[in-house]
């Protein structure tokens, strides 16, 4: 099996006629049948549906003992929204009354105290606030959340890159002023479509003028980075209307744009055959990718496009550094254990889990409840997946230094299958490198387009089995 060398550009064709460079030493594996490009969004590995109740429940002090805590990511989860969008599968509830929000922040304070006791003297190098919609909270509630977080965890949120999610309906001047004052460097707004009819079709009944007002307020607040989320594959969406939304977003010159495929199948003719919908989404994806590349954006992953020179200087490395999650839907990562609380999507079950969370006593926050223990194979797979699904690809030197052998040794057959389909390539070593070592492994342009197929295909058999037995709630 041979692999074409690459320049690192993610927009070029998979086979551009450049000289071949050997990729692997293992025998070529049989190429499997294609499963379709949209199997699932791999934003973390393993997925929460592979988590199970921990018995016995380990103390957080035990979980974090011996873990490096000098470069941690802090994630705050706010599980509230003003409405439930038709495409949403997040852990969130709508219409939370003021007293529930207050009780949630009380619980967040108790949890933060337990976590800080377990960590000792952590150092946070990046932070994010997600949901749900964090700006569902009022300006005063946001202030309280940031106050308790900094006071208890010791995090200096003004000193690290911090991203916060918002929505057109909740991106008000007073809330944005709090975010700016407390150090938010990036605000991400879920627009999804600039076409009112498409927004209604996605069960997001917003109007274009509301979106434009929110974007204007975000720009006036002066954040370093604005990200706009758009969705393709909405019922009734055409190539022309997709181009219209792309151009409407580009008019704001956002530092980042995310392009998300819709995963809730339309009810009309387009959705009657899965292959037709797959083809339509791929067409729109390629159109969006090419349009953003032509507009000067770099492709960071299948979904993420960023203006050159806008990368965050954060020290955090997702493949190897830990994460501390605060909030009912947040997860935390150590090298050996990923843990969280119960997971659900259904409205009734989510409400019940939140109701239980706000009643937890301080000692209940000092243990890990639900989680997944990573063995050596899953640690390697997590590193592989989180690297390959980024345009930068996998650094073979870093992989070998961490795991003692090359990725080909551990995943030769799986990598061969991707290479045989033209989805994977290896860069030539940098000129003058002199090390004789291999170049980076990267997905080709078509490989990035099929990230939602490639990611799930690299899951371990153990994770697949757990996910298949998960009882949806």
pLDDT band at 261 (very low <50, low <70, confident <90, very high): very high
Half-sphere exposure of 153 (CA within 13 A, CB side): 28
Share of the chain above pLDDT 90, in %: 74
CB 212 within 8 A of CB 186: no
pLDDT of residue 268: 45
Residue 50 lies in a domain: no
Half-sphere exposure of 335 (CA within 13 A, CB side): 12
96 vs 214 pLDDT, higher one: 214
CATH number at residue 69: 3.80.30.20
Tokens of 50: 């592979």
Per-residue pLDDT reduced to its tens digit, 319-334: 899 999 999 989 999 9
Tokens of 394: 């996998």
Using CA atoms in the order 470, 49, 133, 159, what is the torsion angle rounded to 10 degrees?
A: 160
Burial track 146-183 (b if 16+ CB lie within 10 A, e otherwise) = bebbbebbebebeebbbbbbbbbbbbeeebbebbbebb
Characterize the bridge pairing of strands 186-192 and 298-299: unpaired
Nearest Cα to 257, choosing from 213, 286, 310, 297? Answer: 297
Per-residue pLDDT reduced to its tens digit, 91-129: 777 788 899 999 999 999 999 999 999 999 999 999 999
284 has pLDDT over 80: yes
DSSP structure string for 301-357: BSSEEE-TT--------TTTS-EEEESTT--EE-SSEEEES----SHHHHHHHHHHH
Average confidence (pLDDT) over 53-60: 97
pLDDT of residue 136: 94
| Strand partners for 323 | 73, 333
Report the alpha-carbon distance of residue 111 to residue 362 in Å, rounded: 7
Of the candidates 253, 286, 306, which is a domain's last residue?
306
Tokens of 358: 């706000």
Residue 347 lies in a domain: no
Nearest Cα to 386, choosing from 55, 73, 131, 81? Answer: 73
Domain check: are 124 and 20 in the same one?
A: no
Domain check: are 84 and 191 in the same one?
A: yes
Question: DSSP 3-state assignment of 74?
Answer: strand
Averaged pLDDT of the chain? 87
Characterize the bridge pairing of strands 424-426 and 370-373: unpaired
CB 235 within 8 A of CB 87: no
Characterize the bridge pairing of strands 186-192 and 162-166: parallel
Residue 316 lies in a domain: no
Nearest Cα to 186, choosing from 288, 90, 306? Answer: 306
Q: Could you tell me the CA-to-CA distances from 455 to 3, 38, 63, 170, 398 in Å, in that order? A: 20, 10, 27, 33, 20
Residue located via tokens 């809730």:
264
Residue located via tokens 């008019």:
251
Domain check: are 140 and 178 in the same one?
A: yes
Domain check: are 287 and 381 in the same one?
A: no
pLDDT band at 32 (very low <50, low <70, confident <90, very high): very low
Residue 395 lies in a domain: yes
Of the candidates 306, 322, 339, which is a domain's last residue?
306
15 has pLDDT over 50: no
Domain check: are 279 and 426 in the same one?
A: no
Domain check: are 62 and 167 in the same one?
A: yes
Per-residue pLDDT reduced to its tens digit, 415-468: 999 999 999 999 987 666 545 568 999 999 999 999 999 999 999 999 999 999
pLDDT of residue 404: 97
Domain check: are 113 and 148 in the same one?
A: yes
Residue 354 lies in a domain: no
Cis peptide bond upstream of 341, omega within 30: no
Of the candidates 286, 306, 326, which is a domain's last residue?
306
Domain check: are 196 and 250 in the same one?
A: yes
Domain check: are 380 and 298 in the same one?
A: no
Residue 146 lies in a domain: yes
Report the alpha-carbon distance of residue 473 to residue 464 in Å, rounded: 18
Per-residue pLDDT reduced to its tens digit, 342-376: 877 777 888 888 999 999 999 999 999 999 999 99
Tokens of 232: 């393709």
- Structural domain that includes position 70: 58-306
Domain check: are 34 and 142 in the same one?
A: no
Domain check: are 240 and 136 in the same one?
A: yes
Number of domains in the chain: 2
Q: What is the phi/psi pair of residue 382, to 5°?
A: -60, -45
Residue 334 lies in a domain: no
Q: Which pTM does this prediction carry?
A: 0.89
Residue 473 lies in a domain: no
Report the alpha-carbon distance of residue 68 to residue 284 in Å, rounded: 43
19 has pLDDT over 60: no
pLDDT of residue 35: 79
Cis peptide bond upstream of 467, omega within 30: no
CATH number at residue 402: 1.10.10.920
Domain check: are 143 and 200 in the same one?
A: yes
């Amino acid at each position: 099996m041979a692999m074409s060398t690459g320049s690192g550009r993610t927009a070029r064709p998979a086979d551009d006629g450049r000289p071949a460079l050997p990729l692997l030493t293992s025998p070529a594996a049989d190429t499997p049948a294609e499963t379709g490009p949209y199997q699932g969004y791999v934003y973390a590995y393993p997925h929460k549906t592979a988590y199970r109740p921990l018995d016995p429940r380990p103390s957080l002090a035990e979980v974090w003992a011996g873990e490096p805590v000098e470069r941690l990511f802090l994630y705050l989860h706010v599980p509230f929204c003003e409405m439930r969008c038709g495409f949403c599968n997040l852990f969130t509830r709508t219409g939370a009354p003021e007293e529930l929000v207050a009780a949630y922040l009380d619980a967040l304070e108790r949890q933060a105290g337990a976590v800080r006791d377990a960590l000792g003297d952590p150092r946070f190098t990046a932070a994010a606030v997600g949901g749900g919609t964090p700006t569902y909270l009022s300006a005063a509630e946001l202030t309280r959340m940031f106050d308790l977080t900094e006071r208890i965890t010791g995090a200096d949120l003004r000193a690290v890159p911090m991203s916060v999610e918002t929505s057109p309906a909740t991106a008000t001047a007073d809330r944005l002023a709090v975010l700016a004052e407390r150090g938010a460097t990036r605000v991400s707004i879920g627009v999804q479509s600039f076409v009112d009819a498409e927004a209604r079709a996605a069960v997001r009944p917003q109007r274009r003028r509301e979106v434009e007002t929110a974007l204007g307020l975000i720009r006036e607040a002066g954040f370093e980075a604005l990200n706009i989320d758009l969705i393709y594959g909405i019922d009734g969406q055409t190539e022309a209307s997709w181009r219209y939304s792309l151009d409407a977003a580009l008019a704001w010159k956002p530092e980042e744009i995310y392009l998300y495929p819709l995963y809730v199948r339309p009810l009309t003719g387009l959705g009657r055959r899965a292959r037709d919908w797959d083809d339509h989404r791929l067409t729109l994806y390629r159109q969006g990718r090419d349009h953003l590349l032509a507009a000067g954006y770099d492709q960071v992953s299948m979904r993420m496009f960023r203006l050159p020179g806008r990368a965050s200087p954060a020290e955090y490395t997702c493949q190897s550094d830990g994460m501390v999650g605060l909030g009912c839907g947040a997860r935390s990562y150590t090298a050996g254990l990923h843990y969280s609380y119960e997971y659900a999507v259904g409205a009734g079950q989510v409400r019940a889990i939140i109701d239980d969370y706000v009643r937890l006593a301080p000692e209940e926050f000092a243990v890990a409840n639900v989680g997944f223990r990573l063995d050596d194979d899953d640690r390697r797979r997590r590193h592989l997946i989180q690297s390959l699904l980024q345009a930068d690809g996998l650094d073979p030197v870093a992989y070998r230094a961490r795991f003692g052998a090359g990725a080909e040794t551990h995943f030769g057959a799986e990598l061969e299958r991707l290479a045989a389909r033209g989805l994977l390539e290896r860069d030539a070593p940098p000129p003058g490198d002199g090390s004789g070592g291999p170049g980076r492994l990267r997905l080709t342009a078509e490989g990035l387009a099929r990230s939602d197929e490639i990611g799930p295909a690299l899951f371990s058999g153990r994770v697949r089995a757990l996910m298949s037995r998960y009882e949806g709630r």
